[in-house]
């Protein structure tokens, strides 16, 4: 049934409540630690999914491993009992199993027997840098090696100096680069550069993040009326008709990405000394447009929109709600506004009612129009990253910036 936006139950969102939610996520996803190395996917109750024949769910995707390292590095700040072990074993998997010691860079996915998808993707390498930055803050001795390996691939293989953004995908030996370009890996690289700057203080990371953001948001999103164009050709011309993988490169535009960008633009504006006057206005416009176009009558955000702004995929996933929470809190922190506070509460209330699994733990990754869990896109509960940051960002529990 449709969810009345103004009648969602309210619950306290104080610091203690946020910490409890983060703790519950860390406790639930710790079961993903695999004795064979790396991490395994979890089912709806939090039990590891069985290892199946190659290609049917046994692989570890690069971004999944890196997100676990990042998430449990943050857990070391509160002395979670499994945090250090998870970070260490995740780092070992990345360096010993996911790393390509012949050609450089990191395989997209591997299993116990070796690479499954050996291609090199900018999206995955952005998360390697994020993992390295957080592991460094957690005191891991291999973090700088991982950082250097990630940056070598980013600067020498993916970075396109003439455009100030990164390309997308290569074969294992760095040949056969796709003509396709996408904003998504660049968005996550902006996040990773901000994390790297917070960890090591190198201004080059902010310079690169600013170039990416200026092009994709200050130019492309502005020209599109603050909808974020997703797909481009090799010359970075918008390809509005692109239709690719429904999970990583879906056709149309993705309101959840505009919500992510709205937070990242504010963080970049603060980190660069508030010298880019256009950034707060851009962040506000991205947030408001995503709310206007993306929030569904039955509650939750549409996964994708068509080029005319209408809903093209009404899949109600968890992560856009999590990103809206973090964005609303971040925007309200710099320019208090009842609009942001209202949407912060609405999205948390929606998540509390429909997405947080109060019985088994974790968040449901997709719900149907009646608010019931479904597994149309994901099996089980494979990801901690988005939900965790929705808790930690408002709680002020992300890494402080080193000065």
Catalytically annotated residues? 257, 386
Residue with tokens 């709600």: 321
The number of beta carbons lying within 10 Å of the beta carbon of residue 336 is 9
**Cβ atoms of 331 and 286 closer than 8 Å:** no
Q: What is d(CA 264, CA 209) in angstroms, rounded to the nearest whole number?
A: 10
3-state secondary structure of 181: strand
Q: What is d(CA 158, CA 54) in angstroms, rounded to the nearest whole number?
A: 29
The number of beta carbons lying within 10 Å of the beta carbon of residue 215 is 17
List phi, psi (to 5°) of 363. Answer: -115, 140
| Pure H helices in 201-254 | 203-213, 222-223
Supply angle C-alpha 401, 389, 315, rounded to 5.
Answer: 145
**Cβ atoms of 72 and 39 closer than 8 Å:** no
């Amino acid at each position: 049934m449709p969810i009345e936006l103004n009648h969602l139950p309210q619950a306290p969102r104080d610091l203690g409540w946020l910490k409890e939610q983060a703790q519950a996520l860390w406790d639930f996803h710790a079961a993903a630690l695999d004795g064979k190395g790396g991490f395994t996917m979890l089912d709806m109750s939090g039990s590891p999914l069985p290892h199946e024949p190659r290609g049917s769910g046994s692989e570890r995707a690069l971004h999944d491993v890196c997100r676990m390292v990042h998430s449990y590095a943050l857990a070391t700040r509160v002395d979670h009992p499994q945090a250090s072990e998870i970070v260490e074993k995740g780092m070992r998997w990345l360096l010993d199993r996911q790393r390509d010691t012949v050609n450089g860079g990191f395989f997209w996915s591997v299993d116990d027997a070796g690479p499954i998808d050996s291609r090199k993707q900018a999206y995955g390498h952005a998360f390697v840098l994020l993992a390295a930055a957080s592991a460094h803050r957690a005191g891991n001795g291999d973090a700088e090696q991982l950082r250097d390996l990630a940056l070598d691939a980013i600067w020498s293989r993916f970075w396109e100096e003439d455009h100030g953004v990164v390309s997308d995908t290569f074969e294992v030996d760095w040949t056969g680069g796709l003509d396709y370009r996408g904003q998504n890996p660049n968005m996550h690289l902006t996040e990773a550069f901000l994390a790297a700057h917070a960890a090591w203080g190198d201004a080059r990371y902010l310079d690169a993040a600013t170039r990416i953001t200026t092009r994709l948001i200050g130019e492309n999103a502005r020209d599109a009326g603050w909808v974020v164009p997703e797909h481009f050709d090799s010359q970075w011309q918008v390809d509005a008709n692109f239709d690719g993988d429904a999970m990583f490169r879906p056709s149309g535009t993705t309101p959840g990405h505009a919500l992510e960008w709205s937070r990242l633009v504010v963080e970049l504006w603060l980190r660069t000394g508030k010298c880019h006057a256009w950034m707060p206005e851009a962040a506000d416009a991205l947030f408001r447009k995503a709310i206007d176009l993306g929030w569904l009558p039955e509650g939750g955000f549409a996964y994708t929109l068509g080029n005319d702004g209408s809903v093209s995929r009404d899949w109600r996933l968890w992560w856009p709600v999590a990103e809206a929470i973090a964005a609303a809190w971040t925007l309200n922190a710099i320019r208090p506004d009842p609009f942001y506070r209202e949407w912060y509460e609405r999205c948390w209330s929606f998540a509390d009612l429909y997405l947080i699994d109060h019985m088994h733990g974790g968040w449901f990754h997709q719900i149907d129009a009646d608010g019931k869990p479904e597994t149309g896109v994901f099996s089980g509960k494979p990801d901690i990253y988005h939900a965790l940051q929705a808790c930690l960002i408002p709680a002020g529990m992300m890494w402080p910036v080193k000065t």
